[in-house]
A and B are shown apart, each in its own frame.
Chain A
Amino acid sequence: MVGSRVLRPAAQLLRSSPSVLPRCSFQKVTAPVAASRWRRTYASPSGSKEMTVRDALNEAMAEEMEKNSKVFVLGEEVGQYNGAYKVTKGLLDRFGEKRVIDSPITESGFCGLTVGAALAGLHPICEFMTFNFAMQAIDQIINSAAKTHYMSGGIQPCNITFRGPNGFASGVGAQHSQDYSAWYGSIPGLKVVAPYSAEDAKGLLKAAIRDPNPVVVLENELLYGLSFPMSEEAQSDEFVLPFGKAKIERPGKDLTMVTLSRCVGQCLVAAEMLKSKYGVEAEVINLRSVKPLDVEAIIKSVKKTGHMMAVESGFPSFGVGAELIALTAEYAFDYLEAPPVRVTGAEVPTPYAQCLEEMSFPSEQLIADYAAKLLRL
Chain B
Amino acid sequence: MLSKFAPRAFTAPVRYNAGAPLRAAFRPVMVARRTVTTDAASSHADKEDVPDSDDAPFQVKLSDEAFETYELDPPPYTLDTTKGELKKMYYDMVAVRRMEMAADRLYKEKKVRGFCHLSTGQEAVAVGIEHGIEKTDHIITAYRCHGFAMMRGGSVRSIIGELLGRREGIAHGKGGSMHMFSTGFYGGNGIVGAQVPVGAGIGFADQYLGKSSVTLSLYGDGASNQGQVFEAFNMAKLWNLPVIFACENNKYGMGTASARSSALPEYYKRGQFIPGLKINGMDVLAVKAAAEFGKQWCAAGKGPLVYEFVTYRYGGHSMSDPGTTYRTREEIQRMRSTNDPIAGLKLKILEWEVASEEELKAIDRKAREHVDEEVAAAEAMEAPHATQEVLYEDIYVRGSEPEFLRGRTPEENFYYPERPVQVPKSPAQT
Q: Given A116-B140, A212-B423, check contact A109 B234 (CB 8 Å).
A: yes
Whole-angstrom distance between the alpha carbons of A149 and B200 in the complex?
A: 19
State which of B174, B198, B232, B404 has its C-beta within 8 Å of the C-beta of A119. B198
Closest A-B pairs by Cβ, 5 of them: A116-B201, A109-B231, A112-B197, A292-B402, A154-B394
Give chain A interface residues in 81-123, CB to chain B under 8 Å. 98, 101, 103-104, 106, 108-122
Shortest Cβ distance from residue B236 to the other chain A in the assembled complex, whole angstroms: 9
A114–B191 CA distance with the chains assembled, in angstroms: 17
Per the bound structure, the CA–CA distance linking A93 and B360 in Å amounts to 63
Cα A144 to Cα B199 in complex, Å, equals: 11
Q: A5–B413 contact, CB under 8 A?
A: yes
Q: Which residues of A contact B188 (CB under 8 A)?
A: 151
Assess whether B187 is in contact with A121, with CB atoms less than 8 Å apart: no
Q: Across the interface, which residues of A come within 8 angstroms of B202, CB to CB? A: 116-117, 119-120
A212 touches B421 (CB 8 A): yes
Bound-state CA distance A119–B429 (Å) is: 10
Q: A116-B201, A152-B181 are in contact. Are A189 and B395 (CB under 8 A)?
A: yes
Taking a contact as CB atoms closer than 8 A, the residue among A98, A111, A151 that contacts B175 in the complex is: A151
Taking CB atoms, residues of chain B closer than 8 Å to A212 are 396-397, 400, 421, 423
Q: Check if B405 is an interface residue, CB within 8 A of chain A.
A: yes
Q: Nearest chain-B residue to A110 (Cβ)?
A: B235
Is A151 touching B174 in the complex (CB atoms < 8 A)? yes
Q: Could you tell me the distance between the alpha carbons of A113 and B196 in the complex, rounded to whole angstroms?
A: 8
**Which A residues touch B208, using CB under 8 A?**
72, 98, 117, 122
Q: Chain B residues near A183 (CB, 8 Å)?
A: none
Residues of B within 8 A of A112 (CB): 194, 196-198, 200-201, 228, 231-232
Using A140-B197, A150-B394 as known contacts, say yes or no to A120 and B205 having CB atoms under 8 A apart. yes
- Residue in chain A with minimal CB distance to B233: A109
Among candidates B173, B232, B400, residue contacting A109 with C-beta atoms closer than 8 Å: B232
Residues of A within 8 A of B404 (CB): 5, 292
Which residues from chain A contact B411 at a C-beta distance below 8 Å?
Answer: 2
Shortest C-beta distance, A11 to chain B (Å), equals 13
8 contacts between A and B (CB under 8 A): A101-B239, A109-B232, A110-B197, A116-B199, A121-B428, A139-B191, A140-B197, A244-B403
Q: Is B359 an interface residue (CB 8 A)?
A: no
Would you give the shortest CB distance from A207 to chain B, in whole angstroms?
A: 10
Within 8 A of A (CB), among B35-84: none
On whether the beta carbons of B186 and A156 are closer than 8 Å, the reply is yes
Q: Tell me if B133 is interfacial: C-beta within 8 Å of chain A.
A: no
Smallest CB-CB separation from A105: which chain B residue? B231
Does B238 sit at the interface, judged by CB under 8 A? yes
Beyond contacts A112-B201, A122-B208: 10 other A-B pairs, Cβ-Cβ < 8 A, are A5-B404, A112-B231, A113-B200, A119-B186, A120-B138, A139-B194, A152-B175, A152-B187, A153-B181, A189-B396
B213 nearest CB neighbor, chain A only: A120
**A211 on interface, CB distance cutoff 8 Å:** yes
B205 pairs with A117, CB closer than 8 A: yes
Asked whether B402 lies within 8 Å of A116 as measured between CB atoms, the reply is no
Interface residues on B, range: 35 or more
Query: Contacting A104 at CB < 8 Å: which of B181, B235, B400, B429?
Result: B235
Per the bound structure, the CA–CA distance linking A300 and B415 in Å amounts to 19
- Nearest B residue (CB) for A143: B191
Interface core residue of B169, B204, B404, B415 (most chain A CB under 10 Å)? B204
Bound state CA distance, A154 and B200, in angstroms? 22
Cβ of A188 under 8 Å from chain B: yes
Interface residues on A, range: 35 or more
B375 to chain A, nearest CB (A): 20
Tell me, yes or no, whether B393 is within 8 Å of chain A by CB. yes
Q: Is A303 in contact with chain B by the CB < 8 A criterion? A: no
B184 and chain A: residue at smallest CB distance: A120
**Residue B426 interfacial (CB < 8 Å):** yes
Minimal beta-carbon separation of A329 from chain B (angstroms) = 11
Query: Could you tell me if A150 and B426 are in contact, using CB atoms closer than 8 angstroms?
Result: no
B198 x A116 contact (CB < 8 A): yes
Report how far A72 CA is from B415 CA in the complex, Å: 33
Minimal Cβ-Cβ distance residue in A for B396? A213
Q: Decide if B417 is an interface residue (CB 8 Å cutoff).
A: no
Within 8 A of A (CB), among B392-427: 393-398, 400, 402-405, 410-411, 413, 415, 421, 423-424, 426-427
| Interface residues of B, Cβ cutoff 8 Å to A | 138, 140, 169-175, 179, 181-182, 186-191, 194-206, 208-209, 227-228, 231-232, 234-235, 238-239, 393-398, 400, 402-405, 410-411, 413, 415, 421, 423-424, 426-429
Closest to A142 in B: B191
Nearest Cβ in chain A — how far from B52, in angstroms? 43
Q: Are A114 and B187 in contact (CB under 8 A)?
A: no
Q: In the complex the two chains form, what is the Cα distance from A110 to B227 in whole Å? A: 12
Given known contacts A139-B194, A149-B395, A212-B421, A106 and B400 CB-to-CB distance under 8 angstroms: no
Q: Are B171 and A151 in contact, with the CB atoms below 8 A? A: yes
Q: In the complex the two chains form, is A113's CB within 8 Å of B396's CB?
A: no
* Cβ-defined contact, A149 with B394, below 8 A: yes
**Given A116-B198, A116-B202: A154 and B187 interface contact (C-beta under 8 Å):** no
Q: Which residues of B contact A5 (CB under 8 A)?
A: 404, 413, 415
B395 contacts which chain A residues (CB < 8 A)? 149-150, 188-189
> Is B201 touching A149 in the complex (CB atoms < 8 A)?
no
Residues on the B chain within 8 Å of A139, using CB: 191, 194
Do B423 and A157 touch across chains, with their CB atoms under 8 A apart?
A: yes
List chain A residues, Cβ under 8 A from B170.
153
Known: A106-B231, A110-B235, A116-B140. A154 touches B198 (CB 8 A): no
Contact of A331 among B227, B400, B410 (CB under 8 A): B410
Q: Check if A119 sits within 8 Å of B201, measured CB to CB.
A: yes
| Residue A148 is within 8 A (CB to CB) of chain B in the complex | yes
Q: Is A155 at the interface (CB under 8 A from chain B)?
A: yes
Q: Given B172, B190, B203, B231, which contacts A154 in the complex, CB threshold below 8 Å? A: B172
CB distance from A143 to the nearest CB of B (A): 5
Judged by a CB distance under 8 angstroms, whether A330 is at the interface is: yes
B175–A116 contact, CB under 8 A? no
Q: Smallest Cβ distance from A282 to chain B, in angstroms?
A: 27
Beta-carbon nearest neighbor of B398 in chain A: A154
User: Which residue of the partner chain B has the closest CB to A118?
Assistant: B201
The distance from the CB of B405 to the nearest CB of chain A, in whole angstroms, is 7
A291 within 8 A of partner (CB): yes
A residues 128-167 in Cβ contact with B at 8 Å: 139-140, 143-144, 148-157, 159
